[in-house]
Homo-oligomer: A and B are copies of this chain.
Amino acid sequence: VSPPFDTARLDSLLNQAEVDAVLATSAHNVRYLLGGYQFFFFAHFQAIGVSRYLPCVGYQRDRPENTFYIGNPMESSSLALGPLWVGRTDTSSWTTVASAAATAAAFRDLGLEQATIAVERAFLPDDARAVLERELPAARFVEALPLLSELRAIKRPDELALLRSVADEIVAAMREVIESAGSGLTTREIAERVRVAETRRGLVSEYCLAAAGPSPLRTPSDTPWLPGHSLSLDSGASLGGYVGDLARMGCLGEPTPRMVEVLAEVDCVQRAARAAVSRGRTGHDVYAAALAAQGGCSDAARMSFVAHGMGVVSHEVPYLTDERTVPYPAVHRHRPFEPGMVLSIETELVDSEVGFVKLEDTVAVTEDGSEAFGDANRDWIVAAG
């Protein structure tokens, strides 16, 4: 079986960072390096017994054939059904400490006792790190996050297909729920219906923010959706580990002229931003276009705009967010977009009469422009009042 990701790209990243090997311990990076495999038993719940499930993937620079996987005894039969591409699989671990000990043994077997090993410090449990340090006292441990995030920046066709599907299904689920909701359901009930609709469509439903106008509160609550009111749905779900995150608007009965106006303002900013997404352009261009469009809106002061990369994590490379809204470094604001990068683009407007108004779109950079995923139903979705 050939490696499911671009090992030359990883080798190059490791080389530039002067790193000999990388150890993935986050669910998303383990799954990425294994080409989509995740042991279904621990897909949601990790805690068990006196510890937790800690799958590990180790990768040695320039030696993809030496890649190893550490898992749990219960997953042996899953692996027998579809063997992994890696060179070595050890499913003996029931605890974080056992996973770390097996990882250290695998690195030792590869002669990496004195290597520089990149680890995911936010996803490496303290007790596992202690075992690695004890068992590999001459190794040097550095942060793996920039390397693995960069590795995932350009999505392959199979990844784009999953991102397209999850976006399509989230929007279809939101439309289905809006059109069938009827009057008087609370935003909590509506969010629960979105969860069920996404699940029925084969997705893993992650969350649903729901606001019923005029209240701007997006936490699902007892707020009822009433005739003539707006409904803002913003839902995240995943398919094969790939995240969709889109926002759409519903109205119980025909939208008022003011409702039409505010959604048009939001859409105007979205379109301006989306038009700036293409190969060679930058996050700076996207923000500049969006903010210029926003400046031309009569409700500019109550609007806000965000764009960020997305994939297996809901904010990933390219990191574009403004630190005023989400405090991640906007380190890629001036980096040219490349085909295969995927962005989430979001504009919101809080109106005292209409409530919370938002569109969020998924846009992939293509060879000759861009492609939006799940791009249906961006206008008011009208439910029978």
**A48 an interface residue at 8 Å Cβ cutoff?**
yes
Stretch at the interface among A214-222, A344-352, A357-365: A214-222
**A164 an interface residue at 8 Å Cβ cutoff?**
no
Within 8 A of B (CB), among A162-197: 192, 195-196
Closest residue of chain B to A218 (Cβ to Cβ) is B77
* B44 and A206 contacting across the interface, CB-CB below 8 Å: yes
Q: How far is the CA of A40 from the CA of B205 in the complex (A)?
A: 11
Q: CB < 8 Å: which of B78, B196, B204, B326 contacts A219? A: B78
- Distance of A233 from chain B, by nearest CB (Å): 14
Interface of A is mostly: mixed
Please count how many residues in chain A sit with their CB below 8 Å of the partner chain's CB atoms.
Answer: 65
Q: How far is the CA of A345 from the CA of B16 in the complex (A)?
A: 54
Q: How far is the CA of A221 from the CA of B220 in the complex (A)?
A: 36
- Distance of A198 from chain B, by nearest CB (Å): 9
Q: Which residues of B contact A51 (CB under 8 A)?
A: 122, 145
Contact with B along A111-145 (1 / 0, CB 8 A): 00000000101111111111000000000000001
* B49 and A328 contacting across the interface, CB-CB below 8 Å: yes
* A45 and B126 contacting across the interface, CB-CB below 8 Å: no
Closest residue of chain B to A54 (Cβ to Cβ) is B122
* A313 and B206 contacting across the interface, CB-CB below 8 Å: no
**A314 an interface residue at 8 Å Cβ cutoff?**
yes
* B315 and A48 contacting across the interface, CB-CB below 8 Å: yes
Closest residue of chain B to A222 (Cβ to Cβ) is B81
* B77 and A96 contacting across the interface, CB-CB below 8 Å: no
Q: How far is the CA of A121 from the CA of B51 in the complex (A)?
A: 9
Q: Which residues of B contact A54 (CB under 8 A)?
A: 122
**A337 an interface residue at 8 Å Cβ cutoff?**
no
Q: CB < 8 Å: which of B47, B196, B205 contacts A313? A: B47
* B196 and A200 contacting across the interface, CB-CB below 8 Å: yes
* A40 and B314 contacting across the interface, CB-CB below 8 Å: no
Closest residue of chain B to A125 (Cβ to Cβ) is B122
Q: Which residues of B contact A49 (CB under 8 A)?
A: 313, 315-316, 319, 321, 326, 328
Q: CB < 8 Å: which of B27, B41, B121, B220 contacts A40? A: B220
* B314 and A48 contacting across the interface, CB-CB below 8 Å: yes
Q: CB < 8 Å: which of B126, B200, B328 contacts A124? A: B126
Known A-B contacts A41-B207, A43-B207; A313 and B28 likewise in contact (beta carbons under 8 Å): no
* B26 and A123 contacting across the interface, CB-CB below 8 Å: no
Q: How far is the CA of A221 from the CA of B50 in the complex (A)?
A: 30
**A225 an interface residue at 8 Å Cβ cutoff?**
no
Closest residue of chain B to A191 (Cβ to Cβ) is B40
What are 18 residue pairs bridging A and B, where the CB atoms are less than 8 Å apart in the complex? A47-B314, A48-B315, A49-B316, A49-B319, A77-B219, A81-B217, A81-B219, A81-B221, A95-B122, A96-B122, A119-B126, A121-B127, A122-B127, A123-B125, A124-B126, A125-B126, A196-B196, A196-B199
